[in-house]
A and B are shown apart, each in its own frame.
Chain A
Amino acid sequence: SYDLTQPPSLSVSPGQTARITCSGDRLGAKNACWYQQRPGQSPVLIIYQDSRRSSGIPERFSGSNSGNTATLTISGTEAVDEADYYCQVWDTATAHVVFGGGTKLTVL
């Protein structure tokens, strides 16, 4: 099976840049997307096709994907960005959607 690995947690100060990584074998050959899930809420799509921002998502969110790592970057992190973030791909070899384990972003 295909696996995606994310760091369990990340802490940044307001205004700093947060970089959340997602690692997988030859991940750069797949199309990654990212979801944000605030406490008690449903997930929201923020990045699709590696680097495209979903409608209504602030410009401070950006994505990249190369080699074995996809990265979600939040520039000028705000308190409202405190949430869990999940990467996801579609593995055509197994016909399975695969989620990373999630990263809890703390803004303090």
Chain B
Amino acid sequence: QVQLVESGGGVVQPGRSLRLSCAASGFTFSTYGMHWVRQAPGKGLEWVTFISYDGSSEYYADSVKGRFTVSRDNSQNTLYLQMNSLRAGDTAVYYCAKDRADGYKTSHFWGQGTLVTVSS
């Protein structure tokens, strides 16, 4: 069955960097686009970024563009999110999600999330 396991979250000071990972299994990772979506404590869902199946296309929310970079290693079935210049407003649970591949950027399956806390 599809499994997505995020890791790399933790407490980080403002201005510092952090890299999240998402280990995928149970499906052919190299044929699906992937999303990162975040949820601040007590708030709604906020899309962060999408990467195509082969990494040739990337899209970012305005709030993270220029600071965050999505990447993937299809040989390792792993998705990454490099987060630089972190701010307090980036504090959230970060979910990776498998795209449904229907052309409408639907997040078909979600991981359990990893918490990132940006605080001094």
Contacts and interface: CB of A to CB of B under 8 A. Distances in A.
Interface of A: 1, 31, 33, 35, 37, 42-45, 48-49, 54, 84, 86, 88-90, 95-102
B106 A88 contact: yes
Contacts of B112: 42
B102 A49 contact: yes
B63 to A, nearest CB: 11
Contacts of A42: 95, 110-113
Interface stretch (B14-22, B42-50, B73-81, B83-91): B42-50
Contact of A101 (B44, B106, B109, B111): B44
B35 A48 contact: no
Contacts of A33: 104, 106
Contacts of B35: 97
Nearest to A97: B47
Contact of B108 (A1, A54, A95, A102): A54
Interface residues of B, number: 23
A102 B104 contact: no
Interface string B33-61: 00101000000111100100000000101
B112 to A, nearest CB: 6
18 contacts: A31-B104, A35-B45, A42-B111, A43-B37, A45-B109, A48-B100, A48-B102, A48-B104, A48-B108, A49-B104, A54-B108, A88-B45, A96-B62, A97-B47, A97-B59, A99-B37, A99-B44, A99-B45
A90 B59 CA distance: 11
A101 B62 CA distance: 17
B105 A90 contact: yes
B13 to A, nearest CB: 28
B40 to A, nearest CB: 12
Given A42-B113, A43-B95, A86 B44 contact: yes
A45 B102 contact: no
Contacts of B111: 42
Contact of A45 (B45, B50, B62, B107): B107
B113 A96 contact: no
A61 to B, nearest CB: 15
